[in-house]
């Protein structure tokens, strides 16, 4: 291959990589966010999730919530947990007004009246702080009806984020399940959501998480840069898939529990290790016989990161197995699509005299941004 086409191909790949490697947290919340809602039935009915009243626990990204409630910078820029709790209490009415206008519960098509139960809390999800709000909805009517849940939290029109999704887990009207609410389909009517629809929703959610979770994409790209043959890609991808599928399912169903404060830095470190091996190792043997053990070990950690995106880690999650499997399949299909697009381009580069230069040009940005992520995610003492 002539040098000019090789240079052009390298620059195209490097430019695309530069666009991907903007320093950002694992969940890429600079672009979008996911609201979490746990909805359970209360009241005098019999059986799981029966009765007319509803309890809702909402997890909402703290700074976005405070901005959307049109509060001042002192509120949404607060970083210490104690100050965030103080701001939530100080601005309780404004926060409640925003949330109840954007998140609604109805019973037999009649709106339920919300009140905030207790004080708000704050907890971390990855590197972002999430406000935890508990709402009680009083629903008029007799037991035996059906509930509907609607979410329009953090819409595109607010301009702070786009494509917000609300992940709902519910135990209502004698049923248990999960759903993803988006702008195009903002309402869940309990009993009407079909299994096929649930599968599709979580498949898309898994695909989006891999694409927007740039650390996972960069780890995959670093592996591809170090793979020389299609056989290497198949074996490496299989090891990574098997490993992260194991820990994803175990963590999502509450069998294992590793704090995000540990998982997130290790994910960043895994990218550094593989990318440095591409830079410093010999062309024909960068990770050598350690490639599969390293990939498998880091794949286990990445699976914990995937599970953290759903935060389905409480007892009873076995009943969400269909959703979890759909989410994981979405990750796998997207991963295969990335491999199908990038590996042929890398093979073309490897056949040129610019091969080593291309590896350096692609690996240095990966190392730089993953080192930044690692330092940003490690809680260093002041």
Q: Are residues 187 and 242 in the same domain?
A: no
Residue 208 lies in a domain: no
Is the pLDDT reported for residue 294 higher than 50?
yes
Q: Are the C-beta atoms of 307 and 251 separated by less than 8 Å?
A: yes
pLDDT digits (tens, 9 = 90+) for 253-271: 777 877 777 888 888 888 8
Q: Are residues 293 and 276 in the same domain?
A: yes
Of 162, 193, 224, the position where a domain reaches its end is 193
Residue 198 lies in a domain: no
Lowest average pLDDT, out of 75-84, 88-97, 258-267, goes to: 258-267
Residue 205 lies in a domain: no
Q: What is the mean pLDDT of the chain?
A: 79
Cα–Cα dist 279/99, whole Å:
49
Q: Which residue do the tokens 């991808």 mark?
A: 237
pLDDT confidence band for 195 (50 / 70 / 90): low
Q: Are residues 100 and 125 in the same domain?
A: yes
Q: Which of 166, 156, 127 is nearest to 27 (CA)?
A: 127
Q: Which residue do the tokens 């780890």 mark?
A: 219
Q: Are residues 38 and 104 in the same domain?
A: yes
Q: Are the C-beta atoms of 210 and 331 separated by less than 8 Å?
A: yes
- Top pLDDT among 272 and 4 is at 272
pLDDT digits (tens, 9 = 90+) for 216-257: 888 888 888 877 778 878 888 888 888 888 888 887 777 787
Secondary structure string (H, E, C) spanning 170-213: EEECCEEEEEEEECCECEEECCCCCHHHHHHHHHHHHHHHHHHC
Of 140, 158, 193, the position where a domain reaches its end is 193
Cα–Cα dist 130/382, whole Å:
23
Q: Are residues 240 and 345 in the same domain?
A: yes
Task: Tell me the mean pLDDT in the region 333-351.
Answer: 85
Task: Tell me the mean pLDDT in the region 336-351.
Answer: 85
Q: Are residues 244 and 126 in the same domain?
A: no
- Top pLDDT among 58 and 4 is at 58
Q: Are the C-beta atoms of 64 and 160 separated by less than 8 Å?
A: yes
- Top pLDDT among 231 and 281 is at 231
Domain that holds residue 253: 3-26+213-377
Residue 160 lies in a domain: yes
- Name 151's Cβ contacts closer than 8 Å, sequence gap at least 6: 35, 37, 102, 103, 104, 166, 168, 181, 186
Q: Are the C-beta atoms of 91 and 66 separated by less than 8 Å?
A: yes
- Domain count of the fold of the chain: 2
- Top pLDDT among 4 and 104 is at 104
- The pTM of the full predicted model, rounded to 2 decimals, is 0.67
Q: Which of 162, 170, 182, 35 is nearest to 98 (CA)?
A: 35
Q: Are the C-beta atoms of 170 and 50 separated by less than 8 Å?
A: no
Is the pLDDT reported for residue 29 higher than 50?
no
Q: Are residues 149 and 275 in the same domain?
A: no
The pLDDT of residue 136 is: 95
Q: Are residues 63 and 175 in the same domain?
A: yes
Q: Are residues 219 and 166 in the same domain?
A: no
């Amino acid at each position: 291959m002539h040098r000019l086409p090789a240079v052009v191909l390298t620059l195209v790949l490097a430019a695309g990589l530069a666009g991907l490697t903007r320093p950002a947290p694992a969940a890429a919340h600079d672009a979008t966010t996911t609201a979490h809602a746990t909805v359970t039935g209360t009241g005098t009915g019999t059986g799981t999730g029966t009765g007319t009243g509803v309890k809702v626990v909402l997890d909402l990204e703290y700074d976005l919530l405070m901005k959307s409630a049109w509060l001042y910078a002192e509120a949404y820029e607060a970083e210490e947990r104690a100050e965030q709790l103080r701001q939530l209490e100080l601005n309780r009415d404004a926060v409640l007004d925003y949330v109840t206008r954007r998140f609604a519960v109805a019973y037999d098509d009649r709106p339920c009246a919300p009140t905030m139960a207790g004080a708000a809390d704050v907890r971390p999800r990855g590197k972002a702080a999430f406000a935890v709000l508990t709402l009680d909805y009083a629903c008029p009517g007799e037991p035996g009806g059906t509930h509907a849940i609607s979410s329009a939290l953090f819409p595109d029109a607010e301009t702070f984020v786009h494509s917000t999704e609300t992940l709902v887990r519910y135990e209502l009207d004698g049923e248990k399940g999960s759903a993803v609410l988006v702008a195009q389909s903002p309402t869940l009517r309990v009993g009407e959501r079909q299994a096929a629809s649930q599968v599709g929703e979580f498949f898309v959610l898994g695909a989006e998480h891999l694409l927007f979770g740039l650390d996972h994409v960069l780890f995959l790209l670093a592996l591809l840069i170090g793979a020389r043959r299609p056989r290497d890609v198949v074996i490496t991808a299989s090891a990574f898939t098997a490993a992260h599928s194991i820990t994803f399912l175990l963590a999502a169903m509450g069998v294992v529990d590793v704090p995000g404060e540990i998982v997130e830095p290790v994910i960043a470190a895994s990218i550094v290790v593989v990318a440095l091996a591409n830079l410093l190792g010999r062309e024909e043997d960068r990770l050598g016989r350690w490639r599969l053990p390293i990939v498998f070990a880091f794949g286990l950690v990445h699976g914990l990161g995937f599970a953290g995106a759903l935060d389905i880690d409480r007892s009873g999650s076995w009943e969400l197995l269909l959703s979890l499997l759909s989410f994981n399949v979405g990750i796998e299909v997207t991963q295969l699509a990335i491999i199908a697009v990038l590996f042929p381009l890398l093979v073309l580069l490897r056949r040129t005299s610019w091969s080593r230069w291309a590896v350096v040009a692609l690996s240095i940005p990966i190392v730089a941004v993953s080192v930044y992520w690692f330092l940003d995610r490690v809680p260093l003492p002041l």
